[in-house]
Structure 1
Amino acid sequence: MSKEKDPLLNSSEAEKESDVPPPWLNKAPGCLVWLYEHRERIPGYGVVQLLRKASLYSMYVLLILLLVYLVNQLDRYTISITAKYVGLDLHFGTLDCMPNLTLFKQEKLSRSYLVHTMIKDCNKNTSLTTQELCEDYEAMLPNAYNDTTPICAWDHDGAKGLKYQILAGPVFNNLYPIAGIFMGLLADRFNRKILLGLSLLLWSLATGATGFAVSYVMLVIFRMLLALGAAGCNPFALSIIADYFPQELRGSAVGIYYWGIYFGYSLAYAIGNGVNIGLGWRWVFFISALMGIVLVPLVFFTVKEPKRSTEKDTKAVNGDKGTLNNKKEWSLSESLVQLKLVILTFIMPGMLTLCIAGSIRNAGGYVWAYNTQPFFSLTIDDATIAAYMSVIPLVGGSIGAVVGGLISDLLVKGRGPYARIWVLIISQIIAAPFAAGALFLPEPWCFLSLIPSNVFGEMWIGVLSAIVLDISPKKIRTTVIAVYLFIITVIGGNFNIVVAPIQKALKKHIDGDDTTKELRSMRWTLFLTFPCLYALSSILFVVAFLLMRFDIKWKERKEREHVSLNRPAKSGSVDSVE
């Protein structure tokens, strides 16, 4: 029988040829021989192999999925960029000296002047510290708009206060992981590209509807719908990727897909500030929604539902009995045994400490992500923030994610999972002072300090996931990683609600006018909840390192028991197990 050609590869012969050492290697220096033998660990090698071996259509599907994930992250973080102006329009947030909306409503000033210039005149003027001073402020308007109407009013700043922190974090992050679990179940049973397209349509419409909101309650409802739709992105997209790319290319394909995090987050600053300056905050949500809606027909009509991975292939990937197309009959007793094993895994000292440390590190990241724009906007104009933040997260985060995985893979060979954890310990300690620099250094050094902060700080994502897999019994790895992600998302994603209470408490102990108190209290609040959490997570990773030996010994014992139970018994033995 002739061997069937794999449609997902350009050529099966090319794969064979790539494993044969080239003739020149026999006479090459030792350093080149070493590089060739370890070429799979060179940054970018996986991407090169992906481009060589994957079919053109598979790469097209990956591009579409990358764009979908980009829009997913863009829509998620848009509120953090526009909150100041959303609160001003919908009347939520802390009262402060803000632009007088009457000028715009009477069409005496253009929106671009209102947003760009009046925010500078009112919100950043250190002398307008009380309602009386704010409303008495008489700024010189451009000659074309000569008018006696006050330029400033004592109004709401949506980026300040508890309501914003709740809207940005808990409203989204509590529903998102719970919905993600149900989406994962749907991905195992139904057409994934249809489900992905419907999810994309739902969260895009929710984003667009946010632009029509007229109250805080409507914002909450639309953000919950956004979370419900966005929760389907990863389960459906990753499952499709797993079936479009063979095992040796899958890691690189997933790595490219995850670049959507950094592209989307950076694009949120570019669109959120740029469009807001010219057209207003509502158009930020309209344009973001339109980007997703344009992708919906491409997902429905150009992405083909791939054939699901076989059980054999899934075992090779997950070290389990299959998750994508498991045809084994469901057993209550076996499910209860696996549930018990999962619970025991998470109460082991090393795993428990890793989850706490990961949640704390994730909390620091969420706090900064949701408060970057509100903090910088206290002293820096939106155009400058957009110029830096539309590039720095993309470059720094992408480098950190790639380099972190590379370093951990190099260290772990021959040393086990203990070596990976040192990447976590060292990277977060290095990142912490640079994160503090973003809070205390003047422009432009505050932005430049974020580059090493992102490079080292973002190393933890893939490395910690790899450690969790390393110390988990193979039989339940898929379940363990899902529970782990749920834990760090719920805890980390809700932590930003402490920002407003801490800032309020610190204001009482800071001298100066209201503007000075606002700036210093915000700076020290973020210091405690951003770089300090990085450093605290590093300390807890050290504790986890000391405790991991108990987890690994327990894991090895459980796996020996599993092998013993599933080993075919000799004929006639009363201990025979099906």
Structure 2
Amino acid sequence: MRTMRVFGISLSLIIINMAAIMERADENLLPAVYKEVSETFKAGPSDLGYLTFIRNFVQGIASPVAGILVINYDRPTVLAIGILFWSLSTGAVGASNYFKQVGFWRAVNGFGLAIVIPALQSFIADSYADESRGTGFGFLSLVGTVGGIGGGAIATVMAGYKFWGVPGWRFAFVMMATFSIFIAFLVFTFVVDPRKRANVEHDNTKNSTDREGLVEKVNTNSMSIWTESWTAMKAVMKVKTFQFIVLQGLVGSLPWTAMVFFTLWFELIGFDHNSAAALVSLFAAGCAIGSFFGGVVADRISHAYPHSGRIMCAQFSAFMGIPFSWILLRIVPQSVSSYYTFAVTLFLMGLTISWNSTASNGPMFAEVVPSKHRTMIYAFDRAFEVSFSSFAAPVVGILAEKLYGYDTKSVDPVLGSAKEALALSKGLFSMMAIPFGLCSLFYTPLYWTFKQDRQNARIASIKETEMI
């Protein structure tokens, strides 16, 4: 029985990480083929930015739905539903004939991601102890970024070909949708919610102190779904650590949303599909390694500095975005001859600026609320950050076109355009350097709030345990 239980945990985490791979691959799919979508629908950078805005905005405002669903249903079911939403919408984007159709299906895609991402994060939080949670989030980010690399690189390369008469970028969307549907089946069939395992252990050992058992079922006779959801929302919103992490996230997520233009920028410089895909993949590889490394480092530092170690790691990572944005976008010559300089800069940049989520945000959220509110706190974090950051992509496009003189008609389909590349890089720099600096600054109040909020959450958990 013990072997089967351990195997069950391992199998569930394997499939959950597979879902994370497909989620990140899906996120990177459209930005990887911006150039082809631009040519197909005669869309400029601002139009492409609106596609990212629509998906992210819907994802943000719909994220609390995940918290409500998870209070009343097991997470594998919730995850499977969300994956099906994003799968079907991804396939529909590949089949769209009009730009407005693409916009509609991107909104549906955002709704699916709104359900999946908070549920994934709370699943990981419940699967690891406090002292190793940064490593758990780091590994999730690592494998997810691998999916992002694969999705972006494969789509960029496929975009240059046709498959049975179908343009490569369209075929990539349909292929991604097919794989995602298969993942939804695996999640629904084989994944076991950590809360359910906790309840089984509780029943077997007759140990009424297992606080994880609190969140498996809600007493629907005495409290309605909406009352329980409203209680969870109010409890989360009152946590000061949550408020300050959201504040830094509002500005800290702007650069990451703006980075969807990296592939287009490299192609405008003159790099072919393969070279542009390789450069973006190197950046993603740096982010993958950095996110895992940051989570491990923060776990170690938090042993010595339990109330400030994770915050220091986050501030370091956010601050590093300033010099690297300046070097990448303003110092390195924008020429195909700078390929290796771009490659090294992008990898080192990804290695250092990708710590925040795994080193601090994810683990700290899990410690400042009782376990039954974890999905809700991740959902509200996504709601605020993603909906606000969704404006970054269209703003980059507007700045490039209106302020820096980007002209879609001047772009050569093969050679790109040095003038338009420079305009786009200026728009990117405006949405990266300053937000990174503010992000680092806004972490500072956590030095005073995190300790108290964590103690309050532990006291609340003890009280709930005693009421069982």
Counterparts of 1:443 and 1:237 in 2: how far apart (Å)?
A: 36
Structure-to-structure mapping, 1:11-410, within 5 angstroms: 55=7, 58-91=9-42, 93-94=43-44, 160=45, 162-168=46-52, 170-190=53-73, 192-235=75-118, 237=120, 255-279=138-162, 280=167, 281-299=169-187, 308-310=196-198, 322-327=214-219, 329-330=222-223, 341-346=235-240, 352-368=243-259, 370-379=260-269, 380-394=271-285, 396-410=286-300
> 1:208, 1:288 within 8 Å by CA — same for their partners in 2?
yes
SS at 2:399 equivalent: helix
Contact 1:172 1:224 in 2 (8 A): yes
**Map of 2:383 onto structure 1:** 486
- Asked if residue 533 in structure 1 is aligned to residue 421 in structure 2, the reply is no
What amino acid maps onto 2:291 in structure 1?
Answer: A
2:298 and 2:16 map into 1 onto residues whose CA distance is 27
Shift of 1:477: 5.8
CA distance in 1, matches of 2:189, 2:230: 41
CA distance in 1, matches of 2:427, 2:290: 26
More helix by share: 2
* CA deviations over 1:70-108 (Å, ceiling 9, x no partner): 2222222211111221222223x23xxxxxxxxxxxxxx
Contact 2:20 2:147 in 1 (8 A): yes
Instruction: Confirm or deny: 8 A CA contact 1:357 1:540 kept in the other structure.
Output: yes
Which residue identity is paired with 1:356? Answer: L
Q: Percent identity?
A: 19
> Closer, same or farther in 2 for the Cα pair 1:313/1:304, shift >3 Å?
closer
Amino acid at match of 1:500: G
Would the aligned equivalents of 1:8 and 1:245 in 2 still touch at CA under 8 Å?
no
CA distance in 1, matches of 2:212, 2:459: 15
Q: Which residue of 1 aligns with 2:313?
A: 423
Deviations 1:89-136 (Å, cap 9, x if unpaired)? 223x23xxxxxxxxxxxxxxxxxxxxxxxxxxxxxxxxxxxxxxxxxx
For 2:184 and 2:380, the matched residues in 1 are separated by 30
| Contact residue 70 and residue 119 of structure 2 kept, 8 A | yes
**Measured at CA, do residues 375 and 59 of structure 1 come closer, stay the same or move farther in structure 2, by a change above 3 Å?**
same
SS class of match (2:268):
coil
Q: Secondary structure at the match of 1:417?
A: coil
Residues 39-79 of structure 1, C-alpha deviations (whole Å, 9 max, x = no match): xxxxxxxxxxxxxxxx2x54344333322222222222211
Structure 1 match to 2:358: 462
2:4 to 4, 7, 21: 7
The aligned amino acid for 1:8 is R
Asked if residue 501 in structure 1 is aligned to residue 398 in structure 2, the reply is: yes
Q: Shift in Å at residue 330 of structure 1?
A: 2.9
TM-score (norm 1): 0.65
Partner of 1:520: 422
Instruction: Note closer, same or farther for the CA distance 1:460–1:558 as it changes in structure 2 (3 Å cut).
Output: closer
Unaligned stretches of 5+ residues in structure 1: 10-54, 95-159, 569-576
Deviation at 1:453, TM superposition (A): 1.0
Amino acid at match of 1:88: E
Amino acid at match of 1:524: K
Gap change, CA 1:309 and 1:388, over 3 Å in 2: same
Looking at structure 2, the residues matched to 402 and 371 of structure 1 have their Cα atoms a distance apart, in angstroms, of 24
CA separation of 1:333 and 1:327: change in aligned 2, threshold 3 A = closer
Is residue 318–residue 477 contact of structure 1 (8 Å, CA) maintained in 2? no
Determine the structure 1 residue equivalent to 2:335.
none
Change beyond 3 A, Cα 1:533–1:563: closer
Supply the distance in 1 between the matched residues of 2:12 and 2:231 (Cα, whole angstroms): 39
CA distance in 2, matches of 1:82, 1:8: 43
CA drift at 1:361:
1.3
User: What is the alpha-carbon distance in structure 2 between the residues aligned to residue 301 and residue 219 of structure 1?
Assistant: 31
The CA deviation at 1:277 is: 0.8
Shift of 1:304: 6.5
Higher normalized contact order (CA 8 Å, seq sep 6+, divided by chain length):
2
Distance 2:236 2:24 in 1: 30
Cα deviations across residues 250-283 of structure 1 (Å, max 9, x unaligned)? 8766554433420221112221111111123212
CA distance in 2, matches of 1:192, 1:212: 31
Do the aligned partners of 1:417 and 1:470 also contact (CA within 8 Å) in 2?
Answer: no
Q: Report how far residue 221 of structure 1 moved.
A: 1.3
User: Are the counterparts in 2 of residues 243 and 309 from structure 1 also a CA contact under 8 Å?
Assistant: no
Equivalent AA in structure 2 for residue 223 of structure 1: R
**Aligned residue pairs, count:** 442
Change (3 A) 1:163 1:181: same
CA contact (8 A) 1:360 1:537 kept: yes
> Contact 1:472/1:480 (CA < 8 Å) preserved in 2?
no
Q: Which has the larger radius of gyration?
A: 1
Distance 1:73 1:318, change over 3 A: farther
1:309 to 1:246, Cα distance in 2 relative to 1, 3 A: farther
CA distance in 2, matches of 1:452, 1:317: 46
> In the alignment, is residue 451 of structure 1 matched against residue 347 of structure 2?
yes
Give the secondary-structure state (helix, strand or coil) at the position aligned to 1:416: coil
Moved more, 272-281 or 326-335: 326-335
TM-score between both structures, scaled by the size of structure 2: 0.79
SS at match of 2:215: coil
Equivalent-residue separation in structure 2 for 1:245 and 1:559 (angstroms): 17
TM-aligned CA distance change 1:555 to 1:389, over 3 Å: closer
Kept in 2: contact 1:199–1:233 (CA 8 A): yes
Tell me, what secondary structure is at the counterpart of 1:322? helix
SS in 1 for 2:159: helix
**What is the distance in 2 between the residues matched to 1:516 and 1:188?**
52
The 3 A distance-change label for structure 1 pair 64 and 481 is: closer
Contact 1:471 1:552 in 2 (8 A): no
CA contact (8 A) 2:138 2:296 kept: no
CA–CA separation in structure 2 for the residues paired with 1:564 and 1:60: 31
User: For residue 381 of structure 1, what is the amino acid of its counterpart?
Assistant: D
SS at 1:487's partner residue? helix
